[in-house]
């Protein structure tokens, strides 16, 4: 498949602050790629560079085969972009806004527009300023989808929305993902897991991993080791064991590179008296939380 977004050593500095540090990203055509990470990780900065709203300090980025510095004007006839704080003229009516936007997009589909208005329960004669936050986000998404973009870019589209609105937006994205590549940042990990194909985790400006969601969830496990007596082990624990905790008859940890036989062999090398090993699959939320807590992990003594 073709690359829709690619970055190489992408770095953004604000004086002494490095918002992005050497980010290498490769997003393929047809993906639903979710960028996750804590507040201040650099997600919005990355998206703003891709959309040519700010410039990188070093490195390069391409979007739909063009340098991100050239993403302007007609390039946006192929890109549907929606940000969390999307500004829409409050004095316009819903129908007036869509009619205005229609003239800028040669591929605008009036039938799709009508379907989106029905799907999102958006009244054409309602003024934008009279819409709720959720309805305004629906309108922003409808205006970004009605012209069949090749790439849909969403920056925190679900923030502050009630569950019903989030479900409606996700349902619409699932439909459009059949004809477009979707790249979004979000904190809503449960919703992301329900439809994303690929996940990237950004922390402190660095991309910690970027991979297929299924592969990611298959390599993480919660492990519980059961003992008859106080566990005995060496101080040197494998680097892939995260959040290691000990009680009188058990040890628990998150395995970041799970392969059952290899993990079992490692356990038996570290612990001489393990009785049983329990493996529990993890959700995307639990994986991200484990990564976020990694730096503060306390090893047992």
SS3 per-residue string spanning 105-174? CCCCCHHHHHHHHHHCCCCCCCEHHHCCHHHHHHHHHHHHHCCCCCEEEEECCCCCCCHHHHHHHHHHHH
Q: How far apart are CA 225 and CA 227, in angstroms?
A: 7
- 3-216 and 220-296 share one CATH topology? no
Token pair 């298959």 is found at 218
Reading the chain (301 residues) residue by residue, the pLDDT tens digits are 589 999 999 999 998 888 999 999 999 999 999 999 888 889 999 999 999 999 999 999 999 999 999 999 999 999 999 987 788 899 999 999 999 999 999 999 999 999 999 988 999 999 999 998 888 988 999 999 999 999 999 998 877 677 887 788 888 888 877 889 999 998 778 888 888 999 999 998 999 999 999 999 999 999 999 998 877 766 678 989 998 888 888 999 999 999 999 999 999 888 888 999 999 999 999 999 888 887 444 444 4
CATH class label, 220-296: alpha beta
Where along the chain do its domains lie? Answer: 3-216, 220-296
- pTM reported for the whole predicted model: 0.90
| CATH for the stretch 3-216 | 3.40.50.300
Token representation of residue 141: 């998404």
Q: Which residues of 41-72 are buried (b: 16+ CB within 10 A; e: fewer)?
A: bbbbbbbbbbbbeeebeebebbbbeeebeebe
């Amino acid at each position: 498949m073709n690359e829709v977004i690619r970055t190489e050593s992408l770095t953004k500095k604000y004086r002494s602050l490095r918002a992005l540090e050497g980010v290498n990203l490769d997003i393929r055509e047809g993906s639903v790629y979710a960028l996750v990470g804590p507040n201040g990780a650099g997600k919005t900065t990355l998206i703003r560079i891709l959309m040519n709203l700010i410039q990188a300090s070093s490195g390069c980025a391409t979007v739909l085969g063009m340098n991100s510095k050239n993403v302007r004007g007609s390039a946006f006839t192929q890109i549907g972009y929606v940000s969390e704080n999307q500004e829409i003229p409050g004095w316009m009516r819903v129908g007036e806004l869509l009619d205005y936007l229609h003239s800028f997009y040669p591929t605008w589909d009036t039938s799709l527009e009508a379907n989106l208005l029905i799907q999102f329960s958006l009244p054409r004669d309602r003024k934008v300023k009279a819409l709720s936050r959720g309805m305004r986000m629906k309108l922003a998404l409808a205006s970004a989808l009605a012209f069949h973009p090749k790439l849909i870019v969403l920056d925190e589209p679900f923030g502050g929305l009630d569950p019903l609105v989030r479900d409606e937006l996700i349902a619409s994205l699932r439909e459009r993902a059949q004809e477009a590549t979707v790249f979004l940042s979000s904190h809503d990990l449960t919703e992301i897991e329900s439809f994303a194909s690929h996940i990237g985790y950004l922390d402190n400006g660095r991309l910690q991993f970027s991979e297929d969601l299924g592969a990611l969830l298959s390599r993480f496990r919660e492990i519980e080791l059961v003992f008859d007596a106080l566990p005995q082990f060496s101080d040197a624990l494998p680097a892939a064991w995260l959040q290691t905790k000990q009680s009188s008859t058990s040890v628990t940890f998150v395995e970041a590179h799970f392969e059952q036989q290899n993990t079992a062999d490692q356990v038996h090398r570290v612990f001489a008296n393990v009785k049983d090993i329990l493996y529990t699959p993890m959700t995307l939320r639990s994986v991200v939380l484990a990564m976020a807590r990694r730096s503060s992990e306390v090893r047992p003594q």
